[in-house]
Amino acid sequence: MLYPSRTSLKIIAAVVGIFATGIPIVLFNGWLKKQGDDELAVTTAWALGSAEIQLGQAVGALDDLSARGVDSCRPPHTEAMRQAVLRTGPVKQVMLIGSNGEVLCTDSGGAAGRQEVLSPAASASSGVVLDVVRLANRGDRFLRVRSLGKPDKPGLAALVPANLLLPQASTRGGRWSGTSRIAMSDGSPIGEAGAMPDAVAPQTLFSDTQRSAQYPIAVTVSMPRTGVIAHHDDLRRIGIVMTGGLALIILSFALLLTRRQPGDPTADMARAVRDDEFVPYYQPLVDLQNGRLLGAEVLVRWRRPDGSFVEPSAFVLALESSGLVLEFTRKLMRRVCKELGDAVGQRPSMSIAFNVAPRHFDDALILNDVGTIFNDSTIRLSQIVLELTERHEVVNLTSMRRTVAALQRVGCKVAIDDVGTGHSGLSYILKLGVDIIKIDKLFVDAIGSEGNSKAIIETLIDLAKNMRMEIIAEGVETFDQVTYLRERGIVAAQGYVFAPPLPAASFLQLLDAMDPVAAPAVEAGRPGAKTKIGGGDNHRPLFGDPGA
């Protein structure tokens, strides 16, 4: 009977070891690829769903106008179109179109500029017609949603900006490392979002395309392979030389990595919140009528340990969508109390505004936090403004309204930020019963160039007057804008024409210069008299008279 030699046994053992190690690695690589394919499919479906929701809102607005008989350029009909634009977040313009395709009038009352049609018209199952257009003298694209009128009547159309049809963040809340593209069913491009990392070879990309069953559109998402799958070649080399036990260790480690994808900012932001790396900056709020300093909005910058700064656009979306935003806001409020408490407390007419995520209003968490944090601070509750942004949709308006009312009862004010750019429209403002609305920079920028933006601003001013709400203009950058806003009765504004967001030391210097507080008075040799708040001639305008 022949027995294998010692050398043969070593060879057999080596082969068995290679298979024992290599097979798990091969299986694991296949599983990793499937995970990448699944993630890509989910991301594509999410992007397509987002576009369908935006288009559905536009179609709903046109159906409502048609049901109300809007079919002319008479003032009541153009006013109805203007109200539809204000109520419907994705829609930036509504117009009446004649039978030969010419634009008869728009929601601003006048005729629109020339529209260059960039794609063939395509019909949707809902009966509307879609095409891609570009406005004269502007490079950005719009998806035009048209409802065909009766043979003897004009039709209605709505313009939806292409950049609103695709989400700007990934399904995890941060920016995804890849691109998403939306196109008509014939391939005509509509818009694109995201960015591909530098030096990504085409052969290393995952791509997925999904078509809408409701509208003649398709969405394509592309992601770098390295963003989803770990380094396959390294794993294969390890599988060749390692034992079966080491293969299990590698598998466990790789599973852990898939739970925490490379580039996921959550862990980094959690450390930054813990270590107080988020620094408050203060953007002055100025009285347009006399140049006095009314207060400040608290903004935030991320200062890393090496002294470098991360721009807000790189972390705000991810922070707001994560559970970290609650502790982040609490720490920011405590730091503002420490930095500005004495200065603001000595000036009771000043306000300090904080941006607050809607989830902070769940179960009235914000009430407890505000009461606890400012209880021992010299900053009064009546000086606090809490700003809710329109970027996030509020699911339970009834619960939110109760929390807003409770905050108002203790003296705080509540503002709606970015008005006109988000989900809500006028119903959002009216139902919540807020104290302040803030005109978004988007509309302020268009003063002097877009009649539609002026109409929106004047509508918001009328709304604020009728509802006895305060109104603030954001992003004011020119004296022409200052003059326009001041002539229409807007009192408060902020923007680079006055000052950029300032660190605490610089803001305190500005505060002392514009609103000095007198040294404590001494009566009959007794110290401790109350500090007098500077006023009258002590207030110096931050800018000259732009109307002069």
- Please report the DSSP string for 132-185 in residue order: EEEETT---EEEEEEE---TTS-EEEEEEEGGGSS-SS-TTSS--BEEEEEEET
| Per-residue confidence (pLDDT) for residue 145, from 0 to 100 | 92
What's the pLDDT score for residue 521?
41
Strand partners, 220: 181, 209
Q: What letters, b where the CB count within 10 A reaches 16 and e where it falls short, cover 67-89?
A: eeebbebeeebbebbbbbbbbbb
pTM beyond 0.95: the answer is no
Q: Which residue has the higher pLDDT, 218 or 548?
A: 218
Average pLDDT of 328-337?
A: 92
Q: What whole-number percentage of the chain has pLDDT above 90? A: 20
- Greater pLDDT, 138 or 337: 337
Q: Which distant-in-sequence residues (6+ apart) come within 8 Å of 540 by Cβ?
A: 291, 513, 514
| Residues 20-29: b if buried by 16+ CB within 10 A, e if exposed | bbbebbeebb
Q: Looking at residues 471-500, what average pLDDT do you find?
A: 90
How far apart (Å, rounded) are the C-alpha atoms in residues 52 and 359?
25
Q: Per-residue pLDDT averaged across 397-426, rounded?
A: 80
* pLDDT above 80 (res 136): no
Residue 45 has, within 13 A of its CA and on its CB side, a CA count of: 6
Q: Are 474 and 481 in contact (CB under 8 A)?
A: no
Domains recognised in the chain with CATH numbers: 6-30+229-259 (no CATH), 39-224 (no CATH), 276-506 (3.20.20.450)
Q: For the segment 219-263, what is each residue's pLDDT rounded down to a tens digit?
A: 998 887 654 443 344 444 444 445 455 555 644 554 454 444 444
Tallying the residues shown for the chain, one arrives at 548
Question: Quick check: 547 and 289 in contact, CB under 8 A?
Answer: no
pLDDT tens per residue across span 70-113:
988 898 999 899 888 888 878 888 999 887 778 888 887 765 66
Indicate whether 435 pLDDT > 80.
Answer: yes
Reported as a single tens digit per residue, the pLDDT across 43-64 is 788 788 878 888 888 898 898 8
Report how far apart, in Å, the C-alpha atoms of 483 and of each of 331, 343, 407, 488, 543 are: 38, 31, 34, 9, 12
What confidence category does residue 541 fall into, taking pLDDT thresholds of 50, 70 and 90? very low
Q: Strand, coil or helix: what is 293?
A: strand
Least confident span in 37-41, 46-50, 520-524: 520-524
